[in-house]
Chains A and B, each alone.
Chain A
Amino acid sequence: MNIELRNIHKWFGSVHANIGINMTISSGTIQGIVGENGAGKSTLMKVLSGYIQAEEGEIILDGKSIKIKTPADAIHYGIGMLHQDPLDFPPMKVIDNFLLGNSGGIFPNRKTVGAQFSELAKQFDFSINPDDYVDSLTVGERQQLEILRLLWLGARVLILDEPTTGISAQQKDKLFDTLKKLTDKGISIIFVSHKLEEIESLCQRVSVLRAGKLVGEAVQPYNTDDLVRLMFEKEMKLGERKCFGNNEAVLKVVELEIEDYRLHIKGVNLEINKGEVIGLAGMEGSGQRLFLNVLGGLIRPVGHSKVTINNQNLTHKAYINYMREGVSYVPADRMEEGLIPGLTLTEHFILAEDNKGIMINHEKAIAVTNERIRDFNIRGKPESHVEELSGGNQQRALLALLRTHLSLVLVEHPTRGLDIESAMYIWGKLKERCEAGTSIIFTSSDLEEILQYSDRILVFFGGKVSNPLNAKDTTVDQLGQLIGGKGF
């Protein structure tokens, strides 16, 4: 079954997520799709699987143009997608998850279906008990269930979105075996991932997406450097490299252990000095966010972890204690976690300052707001509601809210949504703080940003943390490979 995507355009509001994508997937192959976060991979696959509709473009199946309006249509044509977080029903049994959605009589025949399920599972050497509840299964097993379900419904094209995040090595091996068995039967696989090693070993072809466009394709055998360059290349103007780190430690982390339902980070030891900038690199979901949250006291570590700020042991204490020690957290999700929709810029700055008294000093507040607006070049007025600002200006506002005299700034994606000039400007302001002794730990998916502004870099991959790298001595390619999992 040959699939062709022709000139697919998809908008989310004003964001052009897929820009004129043309792609062909041949029958019985494993095709890889790689790209950074936000490149448009998941969007494209959701279009193909009928979850959302493209505004423009066609889907062509074996030469005929078809319309896929809902996931039901897609399955009808034999296209099924395994979502990154499998879309199943945790409180229900495996067998019910399996047969839900399949048309049939009023009374599902669980016995017959159960037998078919077990038969199918045996073919692929899966050991899932149909009577277990899905919330007791591991992520790997939930994926297996979903794959079986899609095959049972007659899928000839299987789309897998980041399938190896959060599954064990054995399950991964089993998955790859399964995929090879499927292609032997003529089923096509589309494998969306950021893990270069896996892509290289599994896929016959690879398509690279960047910023919504298809920027290149490659076939086996692959040149990793080329792939990395296609994925991450950016024209970037960067500020001067300045380092302000001295020898006084501000943050000490000993035997840090963090447990999440998907990731387990262990044995991290780190010391950060005043004025230092540490960049946390890695694909989203690799653990950097968890790490940053723990350093700010928003999530509690487990085990024998110890977190010390300015020589105060703050392990297991609440965020307010970290704030008192001069730690400030700037979240990635601007509108969900950082800014308060419905409030104006002035109101945000009032909240950010340490205010004395009861009555709001409106004049002073507006004066401070105007100062910050000038300082950070925010396109907005003191009375503008934050949800009216553009993404870039929201980001500036978020950074402008940081108080002066901080010990440690923890920031996720500081320049997300900003154009080049703004990004440079923001880093200028951040480096000013470094000069004054503030340390910064930031996450970013922009390799150039990480390399240019960090003193040291930590790379995260599936919960594993690299040893600190000196940014000066690392190249883009080296970093890209580490992010893709090579060398861990």
Chain B
Amino acid sequence: MLKSNSRFFGLVFQISAVLLALVFTTIVLLITQAQPFEAYKNIILGSFGSVTNISNVVVAWVPLLLASTGVLIAFSAGLWNIGVEGQITLGAVFTTWVLRLLLDSSLPPGLILALAILAGMLGGALWAVFAGALKTYGGVNEIFGGLGLNFVATALTIWLIFGPWKRPGIGSMSGTEPFPDTLWLPMVPELRMSWWSLGIGLVVLVFVYILLSNTYYGLKFKAVGKNRTASELFGIPTGNYLMAAFMLCGALGGLAGAMQVVGVYHRLIPSISSGYGYLGLMVAMLVNYQALWVAPVAFFFAALNIGSIQLPIVLKLDSALSGVLQGALVLFFIMMEGVRRRFTKGK
């Protein structure tokens, strides 16, 4: 009886968090003297109003899905991998590098793409290992290590775009020279979407789900994250597992970056990570370690992002509103969890 009671209870608190977030966002809208209903309507239309829009949401969904699942692995192991943003960037850089290297080679395009994507995963993993080593061997908190590396990654990208990899003529913020469409992931005609990236995203999701809930590795990650001392007594090499968590998260981030290059922009642009890393952290904070929930939550967040692109155009509002709603959701979620605990403790 108590169990179903507390599950229902939990649901009540979760729903109130969502409601509070909506109320908060509405208040923010009212402050700018905007029409909340109009704003929400435009967001919904902007994300679901047409086939193009929906495909854009899917395009935004994939990197977020990848980043979030990676972060989920890190969270399982108790790590705050804020550096995932930089890992996405490095993935994109490595992918671009390999594509440039093999641009004129005689290898079949499929193989080149595969290599480039793998390179992207490697790049992300390496960047994560940096942050991991700083933490494990240098005692540098992974928040600051990751953050610093994020900024370095961005600077690296800008240097590449304006320096060695600049477009013939002048370097410009529009990025490097776009790759010929033989080196693009096969796209759906008329849309910016590629079934391949969607497929890869979903496959990864399933893989991570299986990893975390059905393998010994996943269980050991969880153990290390929840009680490192006890895990040592179980014979788990916790240091290795922590580094592995960093690497896996980095690899998935790098994969997201690779997707951004071969599936969306087809070149390296300055802000190629587009905040998906940070957003992925927020998604992971909401799903409470349940990997399958990442898909709908990430989809919702992606829809918010794409939908709010309409806001400046139609209503002269800044598209950052999506970030406000996303942030409010996570914030109230966390706070309501605290309220719920106080409630149940008093029993």
Contact = CB atoms under 8 A, between A and B. Distances in A.
Do chains A and B make direct contact within the complex (CB under 8 angstroms)?
yes
Interface of A: 319-320, 323, 329, 331, 336-343, 347, 350-352, 355, 357-360, 362
Contacts of B14: none
A320 B222 CA distance: 20
Contact of B233 (A319, A341, A355): A319
Given A340-B226, A343-B222, A343-B223, A320 B214 contact: no
A323 B234 CA distance: 9
Contacts of A352: 234
Nearest to A358: B215
B230 A339 contact: yes
Interface in B207-226: 210, 214-217, 219-220, 222-223, 226
B214 A360 contact: yes
B226 A351 contact: no
B235 A320 contact: yes
A338 B230 contact: yes
Given A337-B229, A340-B227, A341-B227, A350 B237 contact: no
B230 A357 contact: no
A374 to B, nearest CB: 22
A355 B227 contact: no
Contacts of A340: 222-223, 226-227, 230-231
B232 interface: yes
A146 to B, nearest CB: 31
Given A343-B222, A343-B226, A351-B223, A338 B216 contact: no
Contact of A358 (B216, B222, B232, B233): B216
A357 B216 contact: yes
Interface in B41-98: none
Contacts of B223: 340, 343, 347, 351
Interface residues of B, number: 20
B236 interface: yes
A323 B210 CA distance: 29
Contacts of A323: 235
30 contacts: A319-B232, A319-B233, A320-B237, A323-B235, A329-B233, A336-B227, A336-B230, A337-B229, A337-B230, A339-B227, A339-B230, A340-B230, A340-B231, A341-B226, A343-B226, A347-B223, A351-B219, A351-B220, A351-B223, A351-B236, A355-B216, A358-B215, A358-B216, A359-B214, A359-B215, A360-B214, A360-B215, A360-B216, A360-B219, A362-B214
A439 to B, nearest CB: 19
Contacts of A339: 227, 230
Nearest to A334: B230
A336 B215 contact: no
Nearest to B210: A359
A342 B233 contact: no
Given A350-B216, A359-B215, A360-B219, A338 B233 contact: yes
A105 B327 CA distance: 45
Nearest to B227: A340
Nearest first, the 4 closest Cβ-Cβ pairs linking A and B are: A340-B227, A342-B226, A351-B234, A337-B229
**Max chain A C-beta neighbours (<10 A), residue from B216, B229, B232:** B216
Nearest to B216: A355
Nearest to A342: B226
Contacts of A358: 215-217
B341 to A, nearest CB: 13
A352 B236 CA distance: 10
Contacts of A329: 233
Contacts of A360: 214-216, 219
A338 to B, nearest CB: 6
A136 B237 CA distance: 36
**Max chain A C-beta neighbours (<10 A), residue from B219, B220, B236:** B219
A319 B223 CA distance: 17
A184 B236 CA distance: 59
A329 B231 CA distance: 12
B316 to A, nearest CB: 48
A341 B227 CA distance: 8
Contacts of B227: 336-337, 339-341
A359 B216 CA distance: 6
Contacts of B237: 320
A90 to B, nearest CB: 20
Nearest to A355: B216
Contacts of B219: 343, 347, 350-351, 360
Nearest to A323: B235
Nearest to A13: B345
A441 B23 CA distance: 61
A197 B103 CA distance: 86
B75 to A, nearest CB: 13
Given A342-B226, A343-B222, A351-B223, A337 B233 contact: yes
